[in-house]
Amino acid sequence: MAAVNDNNSTALHYIFDPMCGWCYAAAPLVDAARSVAGLKVEFHGGGMMTGANRRSITAQWRDYVMPHDRRIAELTGQPFGETYFEGLLRDTGAVMDSEPPTTAVLAAEVLRTGGGLDMIHRLQRAHYVEGRRIADVDVLAAVAAELGFDAEAFASAFARLSGEATAQHIAASRQLLQRAGGQGFPTFVLVQADGSASRVDIGPWLGRADEWKAQLATLAAPAGDAANAGAGQASCGPDSCAI
């Protein structure tokens, strides 16, 4: 696997989508990784529901995703709100489009280091707990305000990063996913300071954030062995997520 670090530090690369249920399942692991000393966490939005993969909410979609959502809640303890199950998933006017929230994540990172990961986490809760339309620009602006971003600065950054800049980010993320041998979202790649890289199987760690943090601290240590790439990671394709 080609190295993806350019700053001689150990980094965990998180290839995600803001509308991926199994990325939401992994959110506690991302939070735990951010507190590991000497480890950087980098995000890469893969655009799971962009272009031809955008979709409107339908009864069939609700029936399809709900068993996965129930499984995530059972396995990880991640909360799902009734306003998601009985609100958003019955809102046939809502569009599932990963591009606008990905742009919001990029804008948040430009405005504040670490803001991108903060935005990912907040958007996941807005979607899965609060049942909000996170593809809507006004919802994204409201979420940014809730995170303490200046309204004008966020709007300017969002406008600047919309379109081509977001498309380039998504394309680069998909290239990284392919190089890593990932099967979907989320995929995690640990890159050591020497440039050696390996895909980390997070499946065994879902719902075990404290143990994951301890393991990751060992993996991120200069003398530690990188995790082996393995099957069975929580992943999803362009239309669905599975474990």
Residues 139-158 have a mean pLDDT of: 98
pLDDT at residue number 128: 98
Mean pLDDT of 105-112: 98
Query: In the chain, pLDDT over 70 holds for what percent of residues?
Result: 88
pLDDT at residue number 7 = 58
The mean-pLDDT minimum among 11-25, 55-69, 189-203 falls in 189-203
Instruction: Kindly indicate the confidence band of residue 1, based on its pLDDT and cuts at 50, 70 and 90.
Output: low
Say whether pLDDT at 108 is over 60.
yes
Given a contact cutoff of 8 angstroms between Cβ atoms, the answer to whether 49 and 18 are in contact is no
Share the mean pLDDT of the chain.
90
pLDDT of 241? 47
Flag whether pLDDT at 94 surpasses 90: yes
Which band of pLDDT confidence, cut at 50, 70 and 90, is reported for residue 222?
A: low
pLDDT at 34: 97
Is residue 157 within 8 A of residue 111, CB to CB? The reply is yes
pLDDT band of 61, cuts 50, 70, 90: very high
> What integer is the mean pLDDT of 62-70?
96
Inform me whether the pLDDT recorded for 239 exceeds 60.
no
Residue 194 pLDDT class (50, 70, 90 cuts): confident
Quick one: pLDDT at residue 220?
Answer: 75
Residue 240 has pLDDT above 90, yes or no: no
pLDDT at residue 223 greater than cutoff 80: no
- Which band of pLDDT confidence, cut at 50, 70 and 90, is reported for residue 2? very low
Higher-pLDDT residue of 193, 42: 42
Domains and CATH numbers, the chain: 10-242 (3.40.30.10)
